[in-house]
Amino acid sequence: MTILIVDDSTTQRLALAALLEDEGYTDLLLADSAAEALQHFKQNEHSNIDLILMDLRMPIMNGIEACRQIKAVEERRDIPIIMVTNSSETEDLRLAFTAGAMDYIIKPPNEIELVARVRSALKLKYEIDQRKARERDMQQLNQQLEKLLVTLAEKHGMLQQEQKKSEQLLLNILPKSIANRLKQSPKVIAERFKEVTVLFADIVGFTQLSVKISPEEVVNLLNDIFSCFDGLADKYGLEKIKTIGDAYMAVAGLPMPSPDHAVDAAGMALEMQHKIVGITDGQLQVRIGLHSGPVVAGVIGKKKFSYDLWGDTVNTAHRMETHGLAGQIQVTETTYGLLPNTFLFEPRGRVKVKGKGEMFTYLLIGKQDATG
C-alpha cells in the first residue's frame, strides 16, 4: 500500500521513511511541502495513495489547509491523514480533525506508536476500499439486473403481443368456444349436432367478371363481398365455416345450439341477396342453398387448423346451391317446414338432384314485414 509523507524537513521525512521501511512499507512517496503534495494529486487524478503522514506546521501552506483541500475532493475523501506535529495544543488538533485528519503523532515519533497508528489507518483504508468495491459491484449488478428486467419486460410484452396475434388468428378460423377448447387441450375436437341449418352461397357471374378486371380488383371485390357476408353472419348468429373461391359456407345452430337456426339462416340469406346488389351495382347475383339436419363438426389439421362440417346435411345444402337459380334461395322441404309463415315461398317443384334423385324444393322469396 502507498504512503505519502509530507514534511518540509528533510531529516523528518527520511526518518519517517526509514521507520516505515523497517516495518516493510516500501511503497513510499515523499513531498517537501503541501504544494508538492497537492501537485501530486493534480497530476495523478486517480492516485493510489492509501495514507498520508502530514506535517502540521509547514511554511506557505500548513498541514491543516492541505488536509482541507485534499478532503474537499470526493475521490480523496477516504484517504486517512495522520498529522505529525511537535505541538500538542488543543486548538491545533481541533482544527486538524475538523479539516479531516483522523489521527496525530507527536514528533519525534515513537516507532511502536507510529507503526500501530499506520497499521490501523491502512486497515481502515483497506476496509473502506473493500466496501466501496462491493458497493460498485452491487451497483453494476443492480444496473445489469435492471437492464435484464427491462429486456424481460420487453420480451414479455412482445410475447404477449404475439400470443394475442396468435389467438386472434385462431379466432379468425375457429369459433371462439372451439378455439378456447383447443388452447386448453390438444385433443381431437369432434361433435355431433342434431339440428342445424347449413347455408351455401355462390357468386353468379364472378368467374366471367374476374377475367376482365385486374387481380387487385378481383381480390378487393371478393374481400368487400365476403366481409359483408361475415358481418351478416355475426348479425344473425351464424358461424362462417369457409370460403372456396367465390363460394361461401356458413351454418346456424352451432357451436351453440339454437332452436331458431333455420330462421337465422333464412334471414341471412335474404339479406345477402340484397347486399350483393348494392356492393356490385347489380352486376353480380348470389345463388344460395339451405338445408337443415344433423351434422358432425370438428377441427382438422395440425399446422393449419380448419373447423369443418360433414354429413348428408352438408352435401344436400350444397346440392341446393349448385342446382339452384341465379339470384334465388333454394331450400329443401325440411328447412321449409322449420320456417314460420312470415317467410314467403314459391314452390319450385321436383328437382333432379345429383346423388339424391328427385327432391321437392322451394324458393325463399322474402319475408313479411312486422305489419303483416
Contacts of 105 (CB under 8 A, 6+ apart): 53, 82, 83, 84, 85, 113, 114, 117
pLDDT of residue 169: 59
The pTM is what? 0.57
pLDDT of residue 101: 92
**Does residue 167 belong to any structural domain of this protein?**
no
Q: Domain count of the chain?
A: 2
pLDDT of residue 349: 92
**Does residue 317 belong to any structural domain of this protein?**
yes
Q: What average pLDDT does the segment 323-337 reach?
A: 95
pLDDT of residue 255: 87
102 and 207 in a single domain? The answer is no
219 and 362 in a single domain? The answer is yes
**Does residue 310 belong to any structural domain of this protein?**
yes
The residue among 134, 153, 177 that closes a domain is 134
Q: What average pLDDT does the segment 132-148 reach?
A: 91
Assign residue 102 the CATH number of its domain: 3.40.50.2300
pLDDT of residue 181: 61
The residue among 118, 134, 150 that closes a domain is 134
**Does residue 161 belong to any structural domain of this protein?**
no
Highest mean pLDDT among 153-157, 239-243, 264-268, 355-359: 264-268
Nearest 5°: CA angle at 236, between 259 and 267? 85
Q: What average pLDDT does the segment 105-132 reach?
A: 91
Strand 247-252 and strand 285-300: the pairing is unpaired
Structural domain for 114, as ranges: 2-134
Distance CA 187, CA 205 (A): 42
194 and 327 in a single domain? The answer is yes
**Does residue 155 belong to any structural domain of this protein?**
no
118 and 192 in a single domain? The answer is no
Please check the confidence at residue 24 and state whether its pLDDT lies above 80. Answer: yes
Q: What average pLDDT does the segment 74-102 reach?
A: 88
81 and 221 in a single domain? The answer is no
Whether 239 contacts 251, CB under 8 Å: yes
Burial class (CB in 10 A: 0-12, 13-18, 19+), 107: middle
120 and 223 in a single domain? The answer is no
104 and 237 in a single domain? The answer is no
**Coil, strand, or helix at residue 137?**
helix
238 and 93 in a single domain? The answer is no
Q: What average pLDDT does the segment 103-111 reach?
A: 89
The residue among 134, 154, 175 that closes a domain is 134
34 and 113 in a single domain? The answer is yes
**Does residue 118 belong to any structural domain of this protein?**
yes
Assign residue 279 the CATH number of its domain: 3.30.70.1230
Distance CA 368, CA 266 (A): 13
